[in-house]
Structure 1
Amino acid sequence: MNAIHDGGAVANPRTLDLNLIRVFDALMEERNVNRAGLRLGLTQSAISHALNRLRHHLKDELFVRTRAGMMPTARAMEVSERLREAIRQVEAAFGANGFDPATAQRRFVLAANDMMTATVGARLMQVLADTAPGLDLVIRPSTRIDLAEQIDMGLIDVALGVFSDVPARFHAEVACRVGDVAAVRQGHPAADGLTLPVLAHHSLGVVSLGGPEAGAVGGYILERGLARQSDAFDREALTAALATVGAVPRFRVVTPHSLALPPVIAGTDMVAIVPELLSPLFRRAGLLVLPLPYAGSTTVVQLVWHRRMVTDPGHTWFRALLAGIAAEPTSSGRRAIGGRMQPDAS
């Protein structure tokens, strides 16, 4: 391991207690002394003592206490990725014989929106409870503007969502493909069939982080080379379809939270346009799920992770498990195949 330079000061790795690296890593992720201590099983005073030793060793404050928590300095940000990679290399060296989920003690951090958390994430936790009791899962919002940076820093293991133009430093794998459906209240005028004229007559509820007015291009927001989905529906197909009957869509409710839509539309005549993946949740909320009266595109849901994690056996196991769960048939009895929702063969 090379010495780390900082403005002429040299930190000699031969004199560094490697346990301090884990304290640094926990503080980088938690940004809180108490939470870092709980994570490592150490007292607050032990964390503070370790931080003081790190500050002395690296000749930098490293973390500054603010109202928002312990904010890392530029020096901490500079060394964080290399130190996290060093931790992984040590773990990989001692775990060279493979990864056994039944006995492993590890935490994975998944970035996902509320839709993926309520569907894929819920099934994932059920499997982990049965097969990997020592593994913990942290789910962070994939809608955060620093998502790519968090993956770069190793603070997020895998992001699950809809992405475009994935940069070369990341790897991506297709998890599933979903289309859009409509959801309405029981007794809605469209309950017997949703046609374009009926759709044009009603206001809409959709999930979006912001359209073109928020800087989205083609339904995506670009950040640090990673384009993530802004609209959770096919805006172009909807607009084009309504134009054929001389109408434009009226978005009466636009929310970034898909699980907020069921109670919002339950007492109105609004029509929600949502990913088909949410159908079981909307039905359990007492709503009707209907096919759309136009052909929209199919959304490709992907797993995205940093290329440095490709050979990590635990990470490889977690990715495979996550991909398999995401590709399972939905509770509506249909599976996403080749861009269209197909009946499940079973």
Structure 2
Amino acid sequence: MIAFDKLDLNLIRVFDAVMEERSVLRASQRLHLSPSAVSHALGRLREGLGEEIFVRTGQGMTPTHYAYQISEPLRSALRSIGETLAGAAGPFNPGSIDRSFVIAANDYLSATLLPQLNRQLRSAAPGIDLVITPVTRLDLAEQIDLGRIDVALGMFRSVPERLRSRPILLQEEVLVCRGDHPLGSAQATLADLARYPLAVVSLGGTDANSDYILERGLARQTDMYDRGALENALAQAGLTLRRQVVLPHFLALPLLLEDSELLAIMPRPLARTFARTMGLMIKELPYPVAHQQLEMVWHGNNENDPSQRWLQEQVACAAKALDVHDV
């Protein structure tokens, strides 16, 4: 067993990277080392510990039971060392840092929340770059686990214990159509929803069993509208939709609504943006809809990181500025 006073902390960093990446190649890229250097470091650590820590399989580097036992305590120790050194360097100053933050968001939030967030960062932290990645990606939870996504924004049914979450706003849905739609200034009715075709956004299409994407314990909502409320209201009135257009994103809606009789369901903040910039008309839905809660999710490993806490506060402030029913 290797003595602590002879332990090379770089070996622990390599172990932690391979534990997360499950790949010598990806770990080497993350650590800016050669694959052979990573393999050599793992060999030194294995010899020092006197235990096998990884086994090569068809799925990559599979941790042993012993590796699982030591991984979280070692990761906590590395995190504590980093926090200690960061604290010794003085209080966090966003105006003096030069780094990138990666945010997972859909196109709706990219068009509404991110402009406000960018304005905040532009004045408070001009050295910070924003990288936006789709929250719809199938490996979202894995990317959060690997530290490649700082925060994810969306609607989540469940969040695993290793992740943290914070509600940032409650959104409500509205009906949108072109400015000269045949409905005119009249309030929309359920009969109108049966008379005119309807456009909605859903990552799962029309499959009733695809309401959520579940990956590594993180369940994300696929429907960007309250499908159940719409279907129940029409059923109770003995009506059916004339025609439905289901899209995987929001930003195609204005061009679809142009020169058509389509109606569309979307969040009120985005509807306001489209009404202001593209002349669309907003109408209230003719049935009751529950407000949907949007959350911000991040990894528990970042809980005490001053830069991460600062980013989370900036995102929450930007969400509040959307002038919706905030939490």
In the superposition, the TM-score normalised over structure 2's length comes to 0.78
CA distance in 2: counterparts of 1:57 and 1:249, whole angstroms: 66
* CA shift in 2, pair 1:297/1:251, >3 Å: farther
Asked whether the 8 Å contact 2:12–2:74 carries over to 1, the reply is no
1:280-299 maps to which residues of 2 (within 5 A)?
A: 280-283=272-275, 284-299=277-292
Match of 2:272, as an amino acid?
P
Asked whether the 8 Å contact 2:143–2:149 carries over to 1, the reply is yes
C-alpha displacement of 1:100: 0.9
1:215 to 195, 209, 216: 209
Secondary structure, in 3 states, of the residue corresponding to 1:111?
Answer: strand
1:1-346 maps to which residues of 2 (within 5 A)?
A: 14-15=7-8, 17=10, 73-74=61-62, 88-96=79-87, 97-193=90-186, 194-210=188-204, 213=207, 215-216=209-210, 219-250=211-242, 252-283=244-275, 284-329=277-322, 334-337=323-326
CA distance in 1: counterparts of 2:194 and 2:256, whole angstroms: 19
What are structure 1's unaligned runs of at least 5 residues?
4-11, 63-70, 339-346
C-alpha displacement of 1:243: 2.2
The two structures, once aligned, show a CA RMSD in angstroms of 4.0
Alignment: residue pair count: 312
What are structure 2's unaligned runs of at least 5 residues?
47-53
Identity across the alignment (%)? 38
* CA shift in 2, pair 1:83/1:110, >3 Å: farther
* CA shift in 2, pair 1:54/1:259, >3 Å: farther
Asked whether the 8 Å contact 1:179–1:296 carries over to 2, the reply is yes
Bigger shift: residues 91-100 or 316-325 = 91-100
Match of 1:322, as an amino acid?
V
Secondary structure, in 3 states, of the residue corresponding to 1:258?
Answer: coil
C-alpha displacement of 1:91: 3.4
If asked which structure has higher relative contact order (CA below 8 Å, sep 6+), I would say 2
Bigger shift: residues 108-117 or 293-302 = 108-117
